Amino acid sequence: MKVIAATKNKGKIREMHEILSPLDIEIVSQQEIGIDVDAEETGDTFEKNALIKARAVAMLCDYPILADDSGICVEALGGAPGVRSARYAGDNATDSDKINKLLSELDGAENRNAKFVTSVAFIFPNGREITAFGEVKGSITHEPKGENGFGYDPVFYSDELGKTFAESSDEEKNSVSHRGRALKSLYEKLKLMEVK
């Protein structure tokens, strides 16, 4: 089954493909089928934003749609950047810009506890919607470590892996990551429905 990913983020698409491929789901980016839409993420929760993105693409094609909204929530910042993680340092900020802003805001903070959160939304061509959730706990390092991953991965230390996500292989990260857990939860829901 071909599923359109409502994202332009190649890292997200790769993770979606790796986790959902056992269900014979082929993940295709919205760009690959000629859809160029950036839905405005006006929701106040990750789930609402995932649904906003999925619905925007679903209106433009007749394929099943998969979208996610993810972010990092830092205790010392009252849960920020949260749903604003992607736009934390401005609309056109690079990953380095976001990381630098986060580290500067945590300068001197003793409590560096954080969690990565993902909500995924899946919309069938008939309009039926399914959502799933995942999170992983850890802390923010004092400096970036590792070369893998994307986003805040170089400064997110996973308690379970004992290293940052950027120091981990894709397989290691997917085994514990927020997106991995949300997609695995979605996988189980789809499997129960015997998706073909």
Q: Which residue has the tokens 């997106």?
A: 179
Q: Which amino acid is at 75?
A: E
Q: Which amino acid is at 178?
A: H
Q: Choosing from 62, 68, 69, 107, which is the catalytic residue?
A: 69
Contacts 24+ apart (CB under 8 A), 148-152: 148/173, 149/11, 149/173, 150/9, 150/11, 150/95, 151/11, 151/70, 151/72, 151/85, 151/95, 151/98, 152/72, 152/85, 152/95, 152/98, 152/99, 152/102, 152/116
**In angstroms, rounded to a whole number, what is the distance separating the alpha carbons of residues 182 and 184?**
5
69 is annotated as an active-site residue = yes
DSSP state of 15: H
> Cα(first)–Cα(last) distance of the chain, in Å?
6
With 0-12 CB in 10 A as exposed, 13-18 as middle and 19+ as buried, what is 151?
buried
What is the DSSP pairing of strand 65-74 with strand 2-5?
parallel
Catalytic residues: 69
